[in-house]
A and B are shown apart, each in its own frame.
Chain A
């Protein structure tokens, strides 16, 4: 497609022309190109706002061409048709976000054709309306002011038509040789259209090659499956069906691609209404402290390289307890020592008790051997086809490091004359030993499709701007094969194309429109009347019954031993004493593609609570031995490669383990991401993709300032997070009584009466009457909350919360309205971890209100503690007097330096706060009011669940419940009647409307903590 051509039919036309005119003048051109990719990396640093004036000028020009423009193709709104779109009323469109081999269904809120907020699509089985921080923040990438705006050739402005004609020549030339020397390097994908076009490409150029690769992937798992089953099948984990889950260093709750799906399933097995309910049990064996480990009922820290041996030992123990595991005989079962040894018997017993209802999952970082063994154990436990199913997804391009290795070698050898890279950023993140950059320089014709002129684009001949998924047509399958259309909400802001459109050009030599390409594919997928089916698919966001059938699998088809032998795999414990580097993806920046997203950079890591940096993590003991403290810069040597990075101590991490996260140290990410953190890919080689032993670490003596949002990790023995084991809870269902005050409405509830709970503090005067009308309240279940912080980013997106930057975060001025507190519990060397979301508690007796000299924060009749920005003069007294410290202050005018494009993501229904004003969680009052309007028009009262704050809506653990506590049948009222409900710091008689459900863990009584 050609945006220019399309532009003629659009309101944005004159904008395009105006830019062309502008761009025509050479000085604007250089200036634009100078200003945009580099510089201003401090745009979120309030100290130097002047430097943005120029920038805003430029963005302004771009904002023009990115005004309110609805795609010309006929897209279908989710709830209403576009024709009855009322200005001011946001519309929601169903689409999907492609996540490599996975995809989540979305409903995107669009204000006058401007997508502002992402929410999950309830109808999509993969995420059932839920999202995580990464998905929430993806809308910001759409408006990233550092996206490239036009194709460029050799760094010089060009345009799409020029590239099309250029490719035609190539196309003809390669047709002669059948594509000899032509290669495509793509990201992994699971998309019928992409696969159709890839096949067309491969048919057209039989001698060409197509390699799919991701820097972080489940490749090892697929390799194991290939070895055991003969061909790759996509495993689907059903955590909701599992009573006992054993994670072998799998962070399925956070960093694994299917985290949302997994969290939904896993927490559904942990949600308990009363002491009589059942809970699932999670065992985690890992080296670093992951969020999954933080949610474990039992966590064993162990060397990453010993996990395989441990798995084998478990298998051995299972056999000892009478479970026959096919093909295990060939293997010698290692003997465990210490806590690992204590674990085996009770763990195996527990797994056996839960045959067919247990689930063992190994992490992406574990070698194929471990995955193969895990398949065998799961098979023997009868979990296959129950808690794990396999689907045969023919539309998936699976990752292949070997493929990349070979490709790079051929490039270096000059055997590749043309390389087209569809996405990805190999120059930045390919294994260091491949030396991709050098190889790339040998390729005559290199093309890179990318959202920005990144490290790779800078090294290629052609750079083609890539469309954001919210501005392109496409399709994607989630892990279970459920198929969704990716429909755009807005015309491409710039001269960008989607991977589908580029691939089509590669395969056919003709430029085609994504819309037609996708419909063409779907013609073969939709049964019955195509238009009807297509409309329905767009409307629902999924193609009904498109989930792929699970194929029966028998792990015994191939003996594990043979698989091991044939691949030379081994599971021997390494008994490593030297330092072992363990790589892990960063939750926020992922593999580095999201590195220019301010929301994600500012989002603290759930474990370290560090924002704006990556670090090398050590256990306290190892840190002592190395003489390293927090913020010391350490030098890490690994196979002749060296890296200097700040150190951070994480209690509970395995001794002698060095945790390094990917995704930082970008040089060409943009003004936000450039130079943030350290590039750890430089240490990584294709042989040791996820861990490497025998590293040496030395303290350089230099220091590096890190920005943490939580300095103190201990609860100091205060009743902040109330905890109990399931057994303790059953013995004493009211264990929270006395530990904290029972909220008033509970005291009045039947349940409270029979348990004769009364408020401890009778009031000395008549308190306001909250017994009529809507009375809003919230309940947060600390048992199911995993601490993933999806709520934090959802809130940031919904409420226009500014990004303040590292300096300000370090000063303690982060603006998040809902933070997630992390506390360590128990032993200092090997502690447990608890998370607690902390929004405004909306106290009925709010301490913040009485101290405000100008009555800028007061109570409304529905029990909301409302913050009147216009009245606030900024004495900050309210924050001092808030025992929960949930109020945030605009110390500077944090928003006035926003580039125009970033301003487009702001929610028009929420005030953008100015300097000197206090702000805080409002329970998303704008949503409450919209709910009231709708209800009033329909002459009814708001239905339960009709109004949901952004945090509750996003929460993949469904831990946050919001509603009208005055309606005793509402979900929130019912949840609040659960006997685990307590008000935080209730003894202060603040009477919070936000209450917590005490955290219950389900440890195995037969296992020593």
Chain B
């Protein structure tokens, strides 16, 4: 690590768990050592300052937005939804990979997940924070946003639970809370580790506070494990439901190009696709900054690439299917919308989407490419660009709907773009703070899958 102590390389991989023969202590050392570093790496500062200034831009823009009104964006009639909604769907999508890794792979006993699930979950939470920003600020009278929640009020009015937007508020809100609880529950034992290792008074106090006085007693582990299992269990349907519900914002409307039943599965696949791309980007940065190649191994990265290849191809299939259904429906408005997507005023966005989402992941058929860091790094970024454009293309179906008289071309203003860029600033600021102050790998889980963690490992002969 930084202070020169050698670290036994440890491999968390069911294929070969033995080499390097790591000890519990060495794991604690290499993971807990990071938040305990005396001097922060230069790279971290460089990244953090950039991110924070972008986050500053984000909040400045929001201030200006509240002062002037949504008119500062490129919105108009017919395109009354623009970047804000595109960004919302994009960020919610990012979150999904985190939940998938931490919940579904947990249930499937995919032990390789333990090296990445912690910051995959962190990513989920930060992504959902960014996502929740947008539907909140995009409304015309943001000071009444709470009316979307069933809060008793003097008007004696309730939200309209038929509206996809209310479904969103419930789905994404639930999603955020569950992910937060899941993440925190996982953190408690590791926070206890930091508590017990902490030297400074403040660190001891804070870590002590958040570790809730965890004693690692088995009577606690008993309930703890079940709670973790249950949370994993109920997060699993969320992976599928949240983006399905988000997709109903579009699917339950009657706008040609929105009104389609393929959206839920297609959105979920896209979400996992983009989510894994983001995890990839982040793990590559994290492991190079903090030299964690021995924990986040090439095997893990490769597995993620394969998942991207699969989901990317599913998304590609969905694109094709949309066209087929439009043609097969015999509905002239639908047919026009899709021809218009590929060859109309927004064709440029459509073809960016196709090349980024369908063509780029095909690289990963090659073993060599899916195990080359630079390739997968670039690919992961390209894929997220593509997925952003997917949502843009879908939203722009508005620009040409039923009556040609109302057709118009939407173009974003500088404020639209600033908010998009700013949201990345917010996301990375939060993520870098997480890397700096919290254990980015679930130590207790990694320890639990070490050979010596199995009670019957050394002591066969005793039983005889």
Decide whether A and B assemble into one complex.
Answer: yes
Interface residues of A (CB under 8 A from B): 46, 710-718, 720, 808, 811-813, 819, 821-823, 836, 838, 847, 849-855, 871-877, 879-881, 883-885, 887-893, 914-918, 985, 988
* A850:B140 contact, CB within 8 angstroms: no
- Cα distance A881–B159 when bound, in Å? 18
Whose C-beta in chain A lies nearest to the C-beta of B78?
A885
Which of these binds chain A: B182-190, B252-260, B282-290, B451-459? B252-260
In-complex Cβ contact of B407 among A712, A875, A988 (8 A): A712
Residues of B within 8 A of A851 (CB): 162-165, 252-253
User: Quick check: B81 and A876 within 8 Å, CB to CB?
Assistant: yes
Across the interface, name the chain A residue whose C-beta is closest to B411.
A811
Interface of A is mostly: loop
Residue numbers in A under 8 Å from B79 (CB-CB):
812
> A871 touching B68 by the CB < 8 A rule?
no
Contact between B255 and A838 (Cβ–Cβ < 8 Å)? no
Contact assessment for B169 and A880 in the assembled complex, using a CB-CB cutoff below 8 Å:
no
Q: Closest residue to B409 on the A side, CB-wise?
A: A711
- B-side contacts of A849, CB under 8 Å: 160
Residues of B within 8 A of A714 (CB): 404
Given known contacts A873-B139, A985-B402, is B145 in contact with A813 (CB within 8 Å)?
A: no
Asked if B160 and A718 sit within 8 Å, CB to CB, the answer is no
Bitwise interface map of B from 144 to 165 toward A, beta carbon under 8 Å scored 1, else 0: 1101100000010111101111
> B70 interface residue, CB < 8 Å from A?
yes
Most buried by A among B75, B80, B81, B398: B80
> Do the beta carbons of B71 and A880 come within 8 Å of each other?
no
A873→B405 contact, CB < 8 A: no
User: How distant is B153 from chain A, measured CB to nearest CB, in Å?
Assistant: 11
A916 and B139: CB pair below 8 A? yes
Contact, CB under 8 Å: B77 / A889:
yes
Interface centre among A808, A812, A819, A916, by most B CB within 10 Å?
Answer: A812
Would you call A718 and B404 a contact (CB within 8 A)?
yes
**Cβ of B149 to closest chain A Cβ, rounded Å:** 10
**Given contacts A712-B404, A891-B75, is CB(A874)–CB(B139) below 8 Å?**
yes
Interface assignment of B401: CB less than 8 Å from any CB of chain A: yes
A854 touches B71 (CB 8 A): no
Q: Name the A residues within 8 Å of B406 (CB-CB).
A: 710, 884-885
> Which residues from 400 to 420 on chain B have a C-beta closer than 8 Å to any C-beta of chain A?
401-409
**Interface status of B138 (Cβ within 8 A of chain A):** yes
Point out the residues of chain B lying under 8 angstroms from A889, CB to CB: 75, 77, 80, 140
A939 to B157 CA separation, bound complex (whole angstroms):
33
- Give the docked Cα–Cα distance between A718 and B333 (Å): 9
Whether, in the assembled complex, B2 has its beta carbon less than 8 Å from a beta carbon of chain A, the answer is no
CA distance A716 to B337 in the complex (A): 12
Nearest CB to that of A804 among chain B residues? B71
Apart from A874-B140, A877-B163, what 19 extra A-B contacts exist at CB < 8 Å? Answer: A712-B405, A812-B76, A821-B403, A836-B405, A851-B163, A852-B160, A853-B147, A873-B139, A873-B140, A873-B141, A873-B144, A876-B80, A876-B140, A883-B403, A885-B77, A888-B77, A889-B80, A891-B71, A892-B71
**CB nearest neighbor in B for A890:** B140
Q: Which residues of B contact A884 (CB under 8 A)?
A: 402-403, 406
Q: Are B408 and A812 in contact (CB under 8 A)?
A: yes
* Interfacial chain B residues near A819, Cβ < 8 Å: 405
Cα separation A313 to B281 with both chains bound (whole Å): 80
Which residues of chain A come closer than 8 Å to B74, judged between CB atoms? Answer: 811
* Chain A residues, Cβ within 8 Å of B69: 890-893, 915-916
Q: Smallest CB–CB gap between B121 and chain A, Å?
A: 29
Q: How far apart are the CA atoms of A276 and B158 in the complex, in Å?
A: 54
Chain B residue numbers with a CB within 8 Å of A822 are 405
**B144: nearest residue on chain A (CB-CB)?**
A873
**Shortest distance in angstroms between B75's beta carbon and chain A's nearest beta carbon?**
7
Residues from chain A with a CB closer than 8 A to the CB of B68 are 892
22 A-B Cβ contacts within 8 A?
Answer: A711-B408, A718-B403, A718-B404, A720-B404, A811-B74, A821-B405, A836-B405, A847-B254, A851-B162, A873-B141, A873-B147, A876-B140, A877-B164, A877-B165, A880-B398, A887-B77, A889-B140, A890-B69, A891-B70, A892-B68, A916-B69, A985-B403
Which residue of A823, A854, A917 contacts B159 across the interface (Cβ within 8 Å)?
Answer: A854
Number of A-B contacts (CB under 8 A): 166
Q: Which of B144, B169, B401 contacts A885 (CB 8 A)?
A: B401
CB distance from B7 to the nearest CB of A (A): 52
Which residues of A have CB within 8 Å of B165?
A: 851, 853, 875, 877
Residue-wise, chain B 168-211 has the 8 Å CB interface mask toward A (1 for contact) of 01000000000000000000000000000000000000000000
Given the complex of chains A and B, what is the CA–CA distance between A811 and B140 in angstroms? Answer: 17
- Interface size, chain B (Cβ < 8 Å): 50
Contact residues in A for B166 (Cβ distance below 8 Å): 853
Please give the distance in Å from A883's CB to the nearest CB on chain B.
4
Closest 9 A-B residue pairs measured CB to CB?
A874-B140, A916-B140, A891-B71, A812-B76, A876-B80, A885-B406, A821-B405, A853-B165, A855-B160
Query: Is residue B336 contacting chain A, with contact meaning CB distance below 8 A?
Result: yes
B79 to chain A, nearest CB (A): 8
How many angstroms between the C-alpha atoms of A982 and B74 in the bound complex?
Answer: 35
Query: Do residues B255 and A881 form an inter-chain contact, with CB atoms below 8 A?
Result: yes
Contacts of A711 in B (CB 8 A): 407-409
CA distance A720 to B253 in the complex (A): 21
A888: nearest chain-B partner, CB-CB: B77
Residues of B within 8 A of A875 (CB): 138-140, 165
Annotate B377-406 by CB proximity to A: 1 below 8 A, 0 otherwise.
000000000000000000000100111111
Which one, B71, B80, B145, contacts A879 given CB within 8 A? B80
| CB neighbours of B145 from chain A (8 A) | 873
- Selected from B71, B155, B164, B404, the residue in CB contact (under 8 A) with A813 is B71
Q: Is A881 touching B140 in the complex (CB atoms < 8 A)?
A: no
A854 near B81 (CB under 8 angstroms)? Answer: no
B309 vs chain A, min Cβ distance (A): 34
The one of B141, B147, B254, B407 that contacts A881, using a Cβ cutoff of 8 Å: B254
Closest chain B residue to A807 by CB distance? Answer: B71
Task: Report the Cα distance A823→B254, complex, angstroms.
Answer: 24
Among B142, B166, B336, B404, the most chain A Cβ lie within 10 Å of the Cβ of: B404
A879 vs B81: C-alpha distance when bound (angstroms)? 9
Residue of A nearest to B250 (CB): A880
Q: Are B253 and A838 in contact (CB under 8 A)?
A: no
Residues of A within 8 A of B147 (CB): 853-854, 871, 873
Partner of A853, one of B77, B155, B159, B333: B159
B332 within 8 Å of A (CB atoms): yes
Min CB gap B384→A, angstroms: 26
Within the assembled complex, what's the spacing in Å between the Cα atoms of A985 and B402? 8
Query: Do A880 and B407 have beta carbons less than 8 Å apart?
Result: no
- CB of B329 to closest CB in A, whole Å: 12
Q: How far is the CB of B340 from chain A (nearest CB, A)?
A: 10
A550 CB to closest chain B CB (Å) equals: 44
Instruction: Give the residue of B71, B254, B333 whose beta carbon is less than 8 angstroms from that of A46.
Output: B71
Interface string of B306-349 (1 = CB under 8 A from A): 00000000000000000000000000110010000000000000
User: Which residues in chain B, 69-92, are within 8 Å of chain A measured between CB atoms?
Assistant: 69-71, 74-81
Identify the closest chain A residue to B406 (Cβ): A885
A503 to chain B, nearest CB (A): 48
Measured in the bound complex, the distance between the Cα atoms of B164 and A875 in whole Å is 12
Q: How far is the CA of A620 from the CA of B155 in the complex (A)?
A: 57
Given A813-B76, A854-B147; A880-B81 close (CB under 8 Å): yes
Contact of B255 with A872 in the complex, beta carbons under 8 Å:
no
CA distance in complex: A713, B407 (Å): 10
A residues less than 8 Å from B402 (CB atoms): 718, 883-885, 985
Contacts of A872 in B (CB 8 A): 140-141
CA distance A872 to B401 in the complex (A): 24
- Complex contact B140–A917 (CB within 8 A): yes
In whole angstroms, how far apart are the Cα atoms of A916 and B80 in the complex? 12
**Residue of A whose beta carbon sits closest to that of B80:** A876
Closest to A854 in B: B147
| Nearest B residue (CB) for A715 | B404
Give the docked Cα–Cα distance between A849 and B253 (Å): 11
For residue A186, give the distance in angstroms from its CB to the closest CB of chain B.
Answer: 43
Task: State in angstroms the CA–CA spacing of A877 and B85 once bound together.
Answer: 11
